[in-house]
Amino acid sequence: MRIARFSIDGNVAFGVVEGDARSGDGLVLDIIKGHPFAEFERSGKRIPLDKVRLLPPVLPNKVVAIGRNYAEHAAELGHEVPEVPTAFFKPSTSVIGPDDPIVYPSFSHEVHHEAELAVVIGRMCSQVPRERVADVILGYTCANDVTARDVQRVEDQWARAKGFDGSCPLGPWVVTDLDPSDLAVMCTVNGEQRQLGRTGQMVRSIEDLVVHITEAMTLLPGDVILTGTPAGVGPINVGDEVAVTIEGIGTLTNKVIKRG
């Protein structure tokens, strides 16, 4: 099931996306009653997808991101794979949705794309045992961990480098019935392929990450875990169109613009 969050005529709602996402033709939203973090009913009221504005599929209280979870990516930046997962936060104000602009930050001169599989949490959870991880996950979506690489290199903390406004595009929707263990993850810039990897290359699995994170903190419905990026990260510039495509989910596209 694909669950999208959208706005139409000033109203915000969730809906189930129906149709063939590969072609993109004739997709419709069946508006749901309530929200996807509990049992819900479809209303039967359908709206063509091209008549609405897609929003970030969730509004997370927090985004917990994992660094250097693909060995080749760690190596391309001159790092070893850490002995334990390296976690950092991206604030809720960093989250944008499909087709929202990535505003190039004024304090950086080297901004990179990082295509990632995002895990969307479906229920409040803490101290999750490995065998219960699937029970706390709503589904998966595409993410771009946009990074001010020059700032990351010179500042000990990554808060500004990875937490600036618009640095966490998410979307286009959440897919609930998906095996995330070996999905293709791709990033293109202006149609040119930059990244191509598979989630099976992750050093730590999604189960590993959920167990590790919830040892320390409670995750809430709608919280997001970014699982790391494959090799091939590189610069994006004003005017570029960045697209993250994940097998079984779809494509998240954002254009880079200059701060006004």
CATH number at residue 81: 3.90.850.10
Helix (H, G, I), strand (E, B) or coil at 11: strand
Note whether 138 and 172 are same-domain residues: yes
Domains contained in the chain, number = 2
List phi, psi (to 5°) of 124.
-65, 135
Q: Does the N-terminal peptide bond of residue 172 adopt cis geometry, omega within 30 degrees of 0? A: yes
pLDDT for the residue 24 = 59
Q: What is the CATH number of the domain that holds 25?
A: 2.30.30.370
- 46 and 99 both lie in a single domain: no
Domain match, 96 and 223 both = yes
Q: How far is CA 32 from CA 2, 29, 57, 122, in A?
A: 12, 9, 14, 16
Residue 4 neighbours by CB distance under 10 Å: 25
Backbone angles phi, psi at 101, to 5 degrees: -75, 140
Whether residues 249 and 164 fall in one domain: yes
Q: Which domain holds residue 95?
A: 63-258
- The whole-number pLDDT of residue 76 equals 83
Q: Which residues of the chain have pLDDT under 50?
A: none
Predicted local distance difference test score (pLDDT) of residue 22: 66
Q: Indicate if 107 and 226 belong to the same structural domain.
A: yes
For residue 160, report the phi and psi dihedrals to the nearest 5 degrees.
-75, -40
**Residues 47, 67: one domain?**
no
The whole-number pLDDT of residue 113 equals: 98
Picking from 32, 54, 76, the residue at the C-terminal end of a domain is 54
85 and 203: one domain?
yes
Place of tokens 């979870």: 69
Give yes or no: residues 104 and 175 share one domain.
yes
Q: In the 8-state DSSP scheme, what is residue 105?
A: P
The answer to whether 113 touches 236, Cβ cutoff 8 Å, is yes
DSSP state of 56: -
Tokens of 56: 């970030």
pLDDT for position 23: 61
Residues 40 and 86 in one domain: no
Q: Nearest to residue 137, comparing CAs of 168, 177, 98?
A: 177
pLDDT score for 129 = 98
Q: Is the dihedral of CA 149, 80, 215, 181 positive or negative?
A: positive
Same domain, 97 and 222: yes
Please report the pLDDT score of residue 187 as a whole number: 98
The verdict on 131 and 110 lying in the same domain is yes
Same-domain check for residues 47 and 83: no
